[in-house]
Structure 1
Amino acid sequence: MRNLRTAAIATATAMTVTLGGVAAASAKDAATTTADSVVFAGEQDGDKASSEVSSDGFAGLSSNNGSSKFFDDEQDPFFATDAFGKEIDVAAVPQWARYWIDSTVVAGIGALIGLVIAGFNWAAFNGIIKMPAL
């Protein structure tokens, strides 16, 4: 079990380092770079800062105004062709939709890591992978 924990920690550390590099790369000024993808595109002109998103949203929830206070563009429509079509237009994708897309990607990466860890654990439990004795 100790080796499984070590493997899980090593995997989590590797993913943190990998996603840290992605976050740093996406933090570039959006006006100077052309986005090839909406995933981790960073803040666009007119977006709320992420600290304002969370503070306004939780203030709205605590005052029983609902979760519509998180973003200012909740009424803006989202068209999948703007995010995933032939011609990507990051500026046309609302901030709330970009947050959902980024969250879905992070959740998918976490699911894949969990699948790898579960597969390794299953293989070790069934004797397919021999674990060295400590």
Structure 2
Amino acid sequence: EGKIVKIGSFSDIFGRISEDLAKYTRLENIFSGISRITEDGVSVIDVGNGLKIEATFKRAGNVRVYIPPESIIVLTRRVTSSARNNFAGRVTQISDLGDIVRLKIRVKGEREFTAQITRKSFEEMALNVGSEVYIAFKASSVQLI
């Protein structure tokens, strides 16, 4: 038996991800950590193993965050950009979804991010399991759960 747990428009429901919605939809890129607010007024979340994620929300203490796979940019070399979160990693899994390819990318030894790119980008970048890449995402794409 099911029950309705949330009612609203698409943006109301998916614009702010709840813990229950994250579990139900099996969202990836969910990280727990300890957040502190910097002098610049942004949050830096320590998710362990030296991995720190910068976010635009202001929340201190224990938090859970979500980064949409389509918000993660995959690069074959490090570049300077406005994205506040930049990490070196290695492709560990490739899932062919037709026009879209989902990549699992391991950073800092243990943490895995899922990124979603177009097939054309995947082919142009000539990525394989084991490819060394960089990922980048804006602090504004980090959502508090």
TM-score range, shorter chain: under 0.3
Structure with the greater relative contact order (CA < 8 A, sep ≥ 6): 1 or 2?
2
**Higher share in helix:** 1
CA radius of gyration, larger in: 1
**Higher share in strand:** 2
TM-score with structure 2 length normalisation? 0.25
TM-score with structure 1 length normalisation? 0.26
